[in-house]
Structure 1
């Protein structure tokens, strides 16, 4: 504030000068802040009232909401447990089974199938048998190089082909005959059907087992046997999905492997009957809680 003393002409002149100096300030209408916020600094006590109000701040865009991904198992039925999930993952269900030629190109399948004719009696499970098979189907032997593990590929193809033959026989009517048998009889019959497919190659099967046991091949070998045992159990009528699912397949896998080895060690004239009796004995003596 300006204090002016009203004494004489000089005082009046000073008053006029002060008034002229205050005119620009009054033109800008500087008004004191009547109620500044408690935290406002002293420099903000004077605000300009002629300035246009600042536009409101833009509203930040909303982030898109992402729904959590649905679990793949949501479509499973309430009764599908470990067994159902395993069969779905392995493709062992009737609608998604792996056939003997699945996973192989057409030319490779022809070569492998023709190579099986040269395994017995001379060439065995070897690259030579595969080269001979390629020549039988009028293909260059160079195609054998398309198989990274060569002999193992031939054995694995044979395992896949035997599994497909077993499933075809079950679907063709063998499954109806199994309904009238006891569980142990159904298992014995199915395992026998599968082992009989190896009978023509029994003289060369020790070599096949040796190839399957190699570190590079053991993983595929175990998977193939697991799928085989799973198919046998389902064909026998097992629909369990609890912890027994694993126990049953482990037990049957051991019985199958033991019967397979017994076929190789028994050289008696009636060895076929011997190993079948051995198979039935194993299954019959297994506790019922495991079958």
Structure 2
């Protein structure tokens, strides 16, 4: 039985209990007992305990989103609509918002905050990758940082949204994306302005040496310096 199979079985057994006891060690052990998985195997696939199970749940959600995006007719959409569609798809695939709420509570703890940040970054990275992003310079980072912020804010709004079909959440998402688009328009105008371009020549040359990570498994790690010729 592979590690993925073990985590899948643990998740299926854990989901009914998470709304009541959170992503906790109690739930992890209960899920292991119900799935008839030996404690030693659980410790091997979840060495940090319940936090690894919560991260596996987030990863499964990302995988489902990517699969859905691959099936969607993205080419018929405006670019901004593709981004909104991707974020909306990620959230609409959640079967129980309480599972996400409990995850947000876990990752709000200081010791698990970096895990939550990396999880959102990877979601943003997978969205950009699915949408065909080819940037390899500093834009690789700024796109993911911006979308991480949009995604995180949207999740928080979505968790408290009781409107029909979460309509208010999708309106909120559209407004956040519009804000980002306005910033991009201002950046484009600044690049066209010769005076601004001259003043920014030095900083832009510096930032131009920042490259996206080569290892896709380290998608949240710092970039590298471009080697001199």
TM over 0.5: yes
Q: Give the equivalent residue in structure 2 for 1:157.
A: 56
Q: Distance in 2 between matches of 1:110 and 1:249?
A: 28
Q: Give the equivalent residue in structure 1 for 2:24.
A: 126
Unaligned runs of 5+ in 2: 186-229
Unaligned runs of 5+ in 1: 1-100
More helix by share: 2
Q: Distance in 2 between matches of 1:260 and 1:209?
A: 9
TM-score, length-scaled by structure 2: 0.69
| Bigger Rg, structure 1 or 2 | 1
Q: Give the equivalent residue in structure 2 for 1:247.
A: 142
Is 1:211 the counterpart of 2:106? The answer is: yes
User: Contact 2:84/2:174 (CA < 8 Å) preserved in 1?
Assistant: yes
What secondary structure is seen at the aligned counterpart in 1 of 2:26? Answer: helix
Instruction: Map 1:14-93 to 2 at 5 A.
Output: none
Pairing partner for 2:91 from 177, 183, 195 = 195
Is 1:225 the counterpart of 2:120? The answer is: yes
**CA distances 1:111-136 after superposition (whole Å, capped 9, x unpaired):** 42223432354333222322332233
Q: Give the equivalent residue in structure 2 for 1:170.
A: 69
Q: CA distance change for structure 1 residues 168 and 123 in 2, over 3 Å: closer, same or farther?
A: same
Is 1:280 the counterpart of 2:162? The answer is: no
Instruction: Map 1:4-15 to 2 at 5 A.
Output: none
Give the deviation of 1:225 after TM superposition. Answer: 1.9
TM-score, length-scaled by structure 1: 0.55
User: Contact 1:114/1:134 (CA < 8 Å) preserved in 2?
Assistant: no
**CA distances 1:107-160 after superposition (whole Å, capped 9, x unpaired):** 632442223432354333222322332233223456544434322112100011
Pairing partner for 1:113 from 1, 4, 11 = 11
Pairing partner for 1:138 from 36, 46, 68 = 36
Q: Distance in 1 between matches of 2:39 and 2:113?
A: 27
Q: Give the equivalent residue in structure 2 for 1:290.
A: 184
User: Contact 1:263/1:272 (CA < 8 Å) preserved in 2?
Assistant: yes
What secondary structure is seen at the aligned counterpart in 1 of 2:134? Answer: coil
What secondary structure is seen at the aligned counterpart in 2 of 1:118? Answer: coil
**CA distances 1:205-244 after superposition (whole Å, capped 9, x unpaired):** 3331121233433333322222211121122232223332
User: Contact 1:263/1:275 (CA < 8 Å) preserved in 2?
Assistant: yes
Q: Distance in 2 between matches of 1:289 and 1:121?
A: 39
User: Contact 2:120/2:151 (CA < 8 Å) preserved in 1?
Assistant: no
Residue-pair matches, total: 184
Aligned-residue CA RMSD (Å) = 2.7
What secondary structure is seen at the aligned counterpart in 2 of 1:287? Answer: helix
